[in-house]
Amino acid sequence: VVEGVHFAKGVSPAAVGWKAMMRPLSDFAAMSGLPQFALITLMASPRTELAWVRKCYAGLTKAASRFDVAIVGGETSSTPGPVAITVAVTGMIEPGRAILRSGGRAGDDLLVTGRLGGSIRGHHLRFTPRIQESRWLTANFVIHAMMDLSDGLGADLPRLAAASGVGFEIDRASLPRNRSVTVDAAIADGEDYELLLAVPPRTTARLLRQWRRKFPRVPLTRIGRLTKRSAKTSALRRGYVHFQ
Amino acid sequence: VVEGVHFAKGVSPAAVGWKAMMRPLSDFAAMSGLPQFALITLMASPRTELAWVRKCYAGLTKAASRFDVAIVGGETSSTPGPVAITVAVTGMIEPGRAILRSGGRAGDDLLVTGRLGGSIRGHHLRFTPRIQESRWLTANFVIHAMMDLSDGLGADLPRLAAASGVGFEIDRASLPRNRSVTVDAAIADGEDYELLLAVPPRTTARLLRQWRRKFPRVPLTRIGRLTKRSAKTSALRRGYVHFQ
């Protein structure tokens, strides 16, 4: 995470640390992996207050302990530029349990966790990666394809579809949205850190039922389905794209 | 590695990539570990040329393949600041074979590989970590303490001595120096990436003999010894210290 890119200058340092740790952990949720060890590199200017660094590390540590991740090392460096923190995480996954973006099939139902859009109002600094949910999903159901939504549904769903060699249809009215978020914003906004998954349609009803019992506070919503490859795919291409 | 800190703006991007990979690999040399997997995070400005990034990755890849390290992932980010690259490396080490800074004993001989000083003239962009040498040392000899010299002998030797709870004596005239480097510079200059080791004195002669046969092109020099803790320790405190 880079100051001025992933967080604004005035943001609480503990929130910056939390976000820096949770971003790579969300990649574990995306594949249903279990994180174990983290390496942290902190680049700060000689003018950065020691108290800022301490609070940032408190945020990193709190986030790591939320998922029993051990911070095992790293590096510090001076920089003439903005504060930047990189976190590398290693972990494990059982054979056959890693879910890729590329396993989607035409006819699969598309489900999304939580609510989309408006992350910039604060969610992007406070989110909890869906690791517990992801582990439960792969322990109990056949999941064809999965990813976390970091650049927005409009950028990420086309990636999943392209990796799977299929198209998709979305029911815009069905999209689970955060308060005061338009459908367009729910599609375009980044940093939701929710899960997008493709599942065989015969299991959808049972999955949704058991999910509601297991995670009563987290919505899981059917938003559409994968289709044979079609020209419609490009209609959704919005969302955040790096370096544009 | 951060532009303006670890490399100057005009430096060859392949050399930047080489250095970014070799710095963490030198930490493996320091402990006698075998590196296996690397994660790379590249932060670049939207104005960074794609060709620059390609050449930098070529340097990273060349350095990784030198030690059979697989680049398995990472992240890219935009930054409003200088180019920065972080490389996190994981690997393995046999039980009991990891050498720490803290194992030195009073009476141990202090040895150093290679030649010291003047790294800023180019060595810091071209060095090869002493992994092969370090692995050979721990496979064949009892090594009490070891570290790589990244901040200069004058900063790093006091750290090894402090961690071991001992003092040290150095024979300044014995220091192996690069061409046109004064004794003071050999002590103060950083980024040697050579190994400093403490060994039981009864094995020194045999170790030096076998080393010359195994690594005829790399000097290994006895530069002094560890002593009971003494007030002399602070006399050598020079070398590069971060954030000063």
| HSE toward the beta carbon, residue A103, CA cutoff 13 A | 17
pLDDT in tens, A19-39: 999 999 999 999 999 999 999
Q: What mean pLDDT do residues B87-108 have?
A: 96
Average pLDDT, chain B: 94
Q: Of A17-26, B44-53, B180-189, B223-232, where does mean pLDDT reach its minimum? A: B223-232
Q: Which residues from chain A sit within 8 angstroms of residue B5, using beta carbons?
A: 77-80
What are the pLDDT digits (tens) for A112-126? 999 999 999 999 999
Cα Rg of chain A (Å, integer):
18
Whether residue B74 contacts residue B42, with contact meaning beta carbons closer than 8 Å, is answered with yes
Tell me: pLDDT of A205 over 70. yes
* Nearest-CA distance A109 → chain B (Å): 29
B222: which residues sit within 8 A by CB, 6+ positions away? B109, B110, B111, B174, B204, B208
Whether B244 has a pLDDT exceeding 50, the answer reads no
The model's pLDDT over B171-197, given as tens digits with 9 standing for 90+, comes to: 999 999 999 999 999 999 999 999 999
Instruction: Say which residues have a Cβ less than 8 Å from residue B96's Cβ, sequence separation at least 6.
Output: none
Beta strand A220-227 pairing with A109-113? antiparallel
Sheet of A34-44, strand order:
A70-78, A34-44, A84-92
- Name the interface residues of B facing A (CB cutoff 8 Å): 1-2, 4-6, 24, 37, 39, 41, 43, 46, 74-82, 84, 86, 88, 90, 242-243
pLDDT at B237 over 80: no
Confidence class for position B230, pLDDT limits 50, 70, 90: low
What pLDDT is recorded for position A229? 84
CB pairs A-B closer than 8 Å: 78
Query: DSSP string of A11-29?
Result: S-HHHHHHHHHHHHHHHHH
The residue in chain B having the minimum alpha-carbon distance to the alpha carbon of residue A39 is B88
* Burial annotation A227-237 (CB, 10 A radius, 16+ → b, else e): beeeeebeebe
With an 8 Å Cβ cutoff, are B84 and A43 in contact? yes
ipTM of the complex: 0.85
* Among the partner residues B86, B90, B243, nearest to A41 by beta-carbon distance: B86
Mean pLDDT, to the nearest integer, of B35-48?
Answer: 96
Distance from C-alpha of A211 to C-alpha of B14, rounded to nearest angstrom:
50
- Interchain proximity A78–B243, CB inside 8 Å: yes
The residue among B157, B244, B142 whose CA lies nearest residue B192 is: B157
Instruction: Report the chain A residue with the minimal C-alpha distance to residue B4.
Output: A80
Of A24, A79, A88, the CB nearest to B82: A79
Q: What integer is the mean pLDDT of B109-124?
A: 96
DSSP string, A29-97: HHHT-EEEEEEEEEEE-TTS-HHHHHHHHHHHHHHHHHTT-EEEEEEEEE-SS--EEEEEEEEE--TT-
Residue B229 banded pLDDT, cuts 50, 70, 90: confident
pLDDT of residue A244: 30
Q: Looking at beta carbons, which residues of chain B come within 8 Å of A33? A: none
Q: Which residue of B has its CA nearest to A77?
A: B242
Q: Which residues contact A173 (CB under 8 A, 6 or more apart)?
A: A183
Q: Which amino acid, residue A125? A: L
Contact B77 A6 (CB under 8 A): yes
Average pLDDT over residues A181-205: 97
Cβ of B202: how many Cβ atoms within 10 Å?
10
- Band the pLDDT of B232: cuts 50, 70, 90: low
% of chain B beyond a pLDDT of 70: 94
Using a CB-CB cut-off of 8 Å, the residues of chain B touching A39 are 88
Give B131-155 pLDDT, tens digit per residue.
Answer: 999 999 999 999 999 999 999 999 9
What DSSP string describes B86-141? Answer: EEEEEEE--TT-PPPGGG--TTPEEEEES-BS-GGGTHHHH---SHHHHHHHHHHS
- In 10 A of CB B61, how many CB atoms? 18
Q: Which residues in chain A are closer than 8 Å to B80, comparing Cβ atoms?
A: 2, 4-5, 81-82
Position B236 scores a pLDDT of 57
Nearest Cα neighbor of A103 from A156, A143, A148, A136 is: A143
CB atoms A78 and B41 under 8 Å = no
Nearest CA in chain A to B46: A243
